[in-house]
Structure 1
């Protein structure tokens, strides 16, 4: 009952928000703010190092990539047409909206869509590290897992808290999903206070970007159910936000780069990537869901430098500043991934416009 009441409260809050008609269903007005939701776990949270970025804006092989971000005098630019919220942080888009001292895909994404879309853009970023789709982001229509799984979870929970109950375990399923919806509703209700320059303008939901997967990939049970859970997730999010064909971008796991082994069918990571790709392949998702393969943006030079990072940490920070599962903390990788997400969102937006004209 407690779980059901929470879901009902969130749905009611979102219904009260009354989003403007979604961009895929009606022509956009110049006064409407184009809203993109960026959600996921730690790699959406953002692990690209600002220390490494400071070096890469000057390095020969990357300075052209990052030229749009600064004035050439060592000062990063701040957009006056793209805004962002990331929990307690909000403002015009600039570097630093990731973990402390880092940025995430929002940077490349915001620069890409902001350069193309004439209306103001608002990015609502909702991300936490160490979350799974199987459990934390589990959507309501996926239902609960089998009783044996719940009993196993209960035994694990009681090792930390002997008073834990089965209801406690059940309520943990979908908690991040519900928290995500609450955060979206909070921003929708308070955007004029958060961003005074947007006062008097309507919000128009334009797209959703999902970048998550590591915690499901490393668990075979979670991985097996990923495609099914992802399909439920897309449909439930669209239903909650009252946007039946909301453009949806899925960032496919790409840590380690393109596969170079002999048998992808037996490789755990490649199996998982195939499940992510399969989640976007339903006929009714054609033209409104796209999967972006992030392995193509892996940086072999950074990966090579990581092998000896302990020998010369300062030299390593020219390439990255984190572990491989965080894409090495590489600004180059994460910025290019963000750009790719933006390109995909823009393609879906254009396809929606074509559908409107044809109907």
Structure 2
């Protein structure tokens, strides 16, 4: 089936994996209308809420207490409804109260330098380094699989064999696992919670040592939790849905694969629904019932290697179905996903037929799916566990199916899963390195980053602020560091790409100045016509801080950065720019030199008001969009992807229909204005 991507949201490999199109044929649009209309009629306690998914703003949805599904709330989405099985208004469900975020203009904390989750925006923007102060919500991660996901790393081996957790910590001379704590004083993470229906009872508590398959074991959840705790300020909930001895071919069999849906697949989805829809009851200490399904990790495969069954031959197909079905049933189309391989036996050949099938069929299938970068575009990651396999001689028990219960193996697997999940969240979980054929030359440095539309004029490239394409940028050398360009030395002229990025390569180490110069930028019809340099100029362009404004100068003249000193191995690796051959993680490249501009005639502020007053549908839109509000709006502005005003509408009644048939395909911003020219609300729409 061909999947249609209505617009270019991010890089081309993301385009190829969009699931929008299949939901928008005529019967589906009719069904969608019926569903939304019915939900408005039957709602018992409806309120408009901002639809949220990590990093990408889409629509507003209805929050409905649904009598058809008992207690709890269901979110009805006008953009990503799950039509797979539920076409009637009376039995339609999205599967979960999953939310996609509308960008909220919250103040940033200039002291909170961190690595937050990726934010999708109009076009595409780099990951922000300044964590935003947002409304608290729980980041929910699912760890699913069989016994190794349950956790088989031994904490205390009664016979004193090496490889238990006590042994690993006592011999951790480098402090690699210091965050785990010490025996009899294990670290408990105050901000990360675990839900796990274990054999000995349901665990609902903060993550610490002893949450594996039994109280004397650890699993991937331990270090995964530590990685997420370091990454997020929001509370984190890990829901572990893992059962020993279960196959993907039968027990977890996805619904879209031929045959009977596996009972443990259904149970997994049900547990996720029950927990997330009852957060305030299950985890009252968290203090919020608002959540976001942020990621899913899969660690399973042993039972599908059974030589007496043919599950291995269909494992790759079943795993593709699993990724897609989990995303559909949880209502998160681009849910970040990490596949952890069955690395039993490591890279050593074995005469064991079962292990041979694991090594030659199952692990290969896992890598094929997770490394399908063209399909998944960086949202699906792969962890190879073969390097973490340790032999029986340095492990507590004999059991290759459980990695000999070696605690170090499970520490490494959990940490790698966490790191790969962060890459998937940031859309950088690629297996293939597109730059392998373009190695960096020695003693050569580079400089670059972004020119962006600073909509709120604060000097920070916020997640919902787009880049400006077509801008001419000039780099000059400044050998004596006096702030005056040297004649004849520099990187020439570069033009920002469609997402606002530029890069100068092949430079010699030394001092440089970067200019957004006056040529081909300010005149009518040129990319910065009418724009001025933004506020909050950061003079120290050499501070290695991304997403701040490094440009200053008088309006409509050369806007220049401060002095940037480039060295071969001293440049920042954590700028988290888009991962491709132009923006690689290179110690000789500084990708933090940004220039913000704004249109002084555009609306500035976002006033506090009750967002329940405005309803927008449908979204995505084709020929017309309807706006309902219980007060008279002064104006509605439609702004294109680079921040230019496309159309202004003056609503005349509480329900207005806007003709959008002439809009080119793409992402647009609806700005709702009051009569003092203040923006009351921003909403992104997708034009198909």
Which of 210, 223, 227 does residue 96 from structure 1 map onto? 210
CA distance in 2, matches of 1:356, 1:46: 42
Q: Does the 8 Å contact 1:76/1:95 carry over to 2?
A: yes
- Please state which structure has a larger fraction of its residues in helix: 1
Instruction: After TM superposition, list the pairs within 5 Å mapping 1:58-69 onto structure 2.
Output: 58-60=170-172, 64-69=175-180
What is the number of equivalent residue pairs in this alignment? 303
For the 8 Å contact 2:142–2:239, the answer to whether it is kept is yes
Q: Which of 357, 363, 387 in structure 2 is aligned with 1:268?
A: 357
2:263 paired with 1:175? yes
1:117-138: CA deviation from partner (whole Å, max 9, x where unpaired): 2211110000000000000000
Q: Aligned-pair distance for 1:286?
A: 2.4
1:204 to 277, 292, 296: 292
State how 1:200-239 maps to structure 2 within 5 Å: 200-219=288-307, 221-239=310-328
Q: Is 2:145 the partner of 1:40?
A: yes
How far did 1:258 drift?
2.0
User: 1:195 & 1:321 partners in 2: Cα distance?
Assistant: 36
SS at match of 1:256: coil
| Larger Rg, first or second structure (1 or 2) | 2
Assess if the C-alpha contact under 8 Å between 2:341 and 2:384 holds in 1. yes
Q: Give the deviation of 1:270 after TM superposition.
A: 2.6
Partner of 1:154: none
TM-score calculated relative to the size of structure 1: 0.77
CA contact (8 A) 1:210 1:249 kept: yes
Distance 1:215 1:200, change over 3 A: same
What is the distance in 1 between the residues matched to 2:93 and 2:195? Answer: 17
Residue number in structure 1 paired with 2:369: 279
Where is the strand percentage greater, Structure 1 or Structure 2?
2
Task: In structure 2, list runs of 5 or more residues that go unmatched.
Answer: 1-84, 102-116, 122-131, 157-163, 429-461, 467-498, 500-666, 668-688
Q: Counterpart of 1:128?
A: 243
Q: Distance in 2 between matches of 1:13 and 1:186?
A: 17
Counterpart of 2:169 (choices 57, 74, 94) is: 57
Distance in 1 (CA, whole Å) between partners of 2:313 and 2:143 is 24
Per-residue deviation at 1:96?
Answer: 1.2
1:19 aligns with 2:129: no
Partner of 1:348: 424
1:354 deviates by: 8.8
- Report which structure shows greater RCO (CA 8 Å, sep ≥6): 1
Name the Cα RMSD after superposition: 2.9
Q: In the superposition, relative to structure 1, how do residues 98 and 86 fare at CA in structure 2: closer, same or farther (>3 Å)?
A: same
Residues 239 and 17 of structure 1: is their aligned pair in 2 closer, same or farther, counting only changes over 3 Å? closer
- After TM superposition, the score normalised by the length of structure 2 is 0.41
1:333 aligns to 2:434 (yes or no):
no
Q: Deviations over 1:29-58 (max 9, x none)?
A: 351211110000000011111102123221
1:84/1:122 contact within 8 Å kept: yes
Residues 25 and 218 (structure 1), Cα distance of their counterparts in 2 relative to 1, 3 Å cut: farther
